[in-house]
Amino acid sequence: MRKEPVYSADFDFLPGHPAGVCLPQGFIAGAVYCGLKTYGEGKLDLGILVSSVPASVAGVFTTNLVRAAPVLWDEAVVQRGQAQAVIYNAGIANACTGAQGLADTREMATLTADKLGLSPELVLVTSTGVIGHLLPMHKIQQGVAALELVEGETAGLTASFCIMTTDTRPKRCVARLQLGGKQVLIGGMCKGAGMIHPNMATMLCYLTTDAAATPEFLQAIIRELVQESFNAITVDGDTSTNDSVLALANGLAGNPTLGQAASAEDELKFKEALRAVMVYLAKEIARDGEGATKLIEIWVRGAASKEEAHLVARTAAGSNLTKAAIFGSDPNWGRVIAAAGRSGAKFAPEKVDIYFGEIPLMLAGVPQPFEKAEAQEALKGPTVYITLDLHAGEDDALAWGCDLTQEYVVINSEYET
């Protein structure tokens, strides 16, 4: 069994579109290698994304008590509601770096602002990489100076590579829709492969749109949609100090402003398209989890509340034992029910059904006979579908994780992230 995605509005969805965040009108970007990625000599590691006009900005940040300098900076930008550029680097997270770290973030914003002729208050900053190291600011200065802004596919493509750390591939997409007779584009890109867990992680997501929207509207829907996208994925249970989802809406599409003059129908349509973008990007992160060979989709049905459905789905998706079993294509459903049992959700174990793919392995709490070879087959694809029906209510939720492999251990015992 699997939940088919349902969207209550029409839009086009373009997964992997190379232009990504630079397809919406007015967004351009540039990237350079400035020497921060010590493990990937010559790989792009510093970039800037710019809107030709100031944009409404929204953001959601890590729930970790330990927050990196750029997170503190960006929260203030988001509070003011307007931004026009983002500077990002990969290789060093600028987390646990004290007062010097804050000064370095401010300098990154200032360097960008000076280059573009903006106020630093309009510049967002994100950093990802190893914790506890100071940024070599002379390299960043040289990088910003050298950086050339381009448009379209080159811009979107290089941006999506530039933000990668242990990611094996870039993650990009675009949604296209009509609002009030105008074409609106939403572009997105993200990075993240380790330190990924519900409630965000070393996860950075950048969303651009040429829609006109108030910052309040944007903030409200980003916050809501994060729950079912970036807060519904897990790679390793470790959350990070730097997580950020940032959205910029520059209004160049000329649609009636969302949150102000737009119809309720248009607002719904925009939200549904943004949902598709965010869920796609979140799943791409889980699928590209460090060392992963499979995406695991957990669908919890019949929960007493939406919260409990999420809780069970996320706990099951995050269980090391379940993840290792899936890697070995072992239909070990006992580990799934044990994970559900420790999730904190209330249900009657004797009512629960569990399916791996289409195969019922437990019905009403009773183990079902099954062909092991057939069940193993269901676990061999690039996406594994596991369904739990708790029979405790009407709510459901999805969560995504990945399998746990020897490669995860190799990556994380040898590479200082």
With CB under 8 A as the contact rule, the residue among 119, 263, 349, 358 that binds a copy of itself is: 349
Taking residue 367's Cβ as centre, other Cβ atoms within 10 Å add up to: 12
Residues with Cβ within 8 Å of residue 224, at least 6 apart in sequence:
none
CA distance 175 to 81: 23
CA distance 354 to 334: 10
Q: How far is the CB of 106 from a copy of itself (least distance, A)?
A: 17
Among 159-167, 179-187, 233-241, 296-304, the segment contacting a copy of itself (CB under 8 A): 233-241
Among 42-50, 265-273, 315-323, 392-400, the segment contacting a copy of itself (CB under 8 A): 315-323
Q: Does residue 49 bind a copy of itself (CB under 8 A)? A: no
Q: Does residue 320 bind a copy of itself (CB under 8 A)? A: yes
CA distance 407 to 86: 33
Q: Which of 97, 165, 202, 405 is catalytic?
A: 202
Q: How far is the CB of 79 from a copy of itself (least distance, A)?
A: 21
CA distance 360 to 201: 33
Phi, psi of 46 (to 5 degrees): -145, 135
Q: Does residue 406 bind a copy of itself (CB under 8 A)? A: yes
With CB under 8 A as the contact rule, the residue among 82, 141, 332, 376 that binds a copy of itself is: 332
Phi, psi of 251 (to 5 degrees): 75, 5
Of residues 192-211, those binding a copy of itself (CB under 8 A): 194-195, 197, 199
With CB under 8 A as the contact rule, the residue among 138, 223, 342, 380 that binds a copy of itself is: 342
User: Rounded to the nearest 5 degrees, what angle is found at the Cα of 21, between the Cα atoms of 15 and 27?
Assistant: 150
Q: Does residue 237 bind a copy of itself (CB under 8 A)? A: yes
CA distance 123 to 92: 19
Is 322 designated active site? no
Instruction: For residue 402, give both structure tokens.
Output: 């990945």
Q: Does residue 318 bind a copy of itself (CB under 8 A)? A: yes
CA distance 46 to 87: 8
Q: How far is the CB of 385 from a copy of itself (least distance, A)?
A: 19
Q: Does residue 401 bind a copy of itself (CB under 8 A)? A: no
412: left (phi over 0), alpha (psi -120 to 50) or beta: alpha
CA distance 167 to 417: 12
Residue type at position 334: G
- The distance in angstroms from the start CA to the end CA of the chain is 37
Q: Does residue 227 bind a copy of itself (CB under 8 A)? A: no
Per-residue contact track with a copy of itself, 121 to 160, x per CB under 8 A?
---------xxxxx--------------------------
With CB under 8 A as the contact rule, the residue among 262, 278, 362, 397 that binds a copy of itself is: 362
Active site (catalytic) residues: 202
Sites of contact with a copy of itself (CB under 8 A): 63-67, 93, 95-98, 130-134, 194-195, 197, 199, 236-241, 318-322, 324-325, 327-328, 330, 332-335, 337-343, 345-347, 349-350, 361-362, 365-367, 404-406, 408-414, 416-417
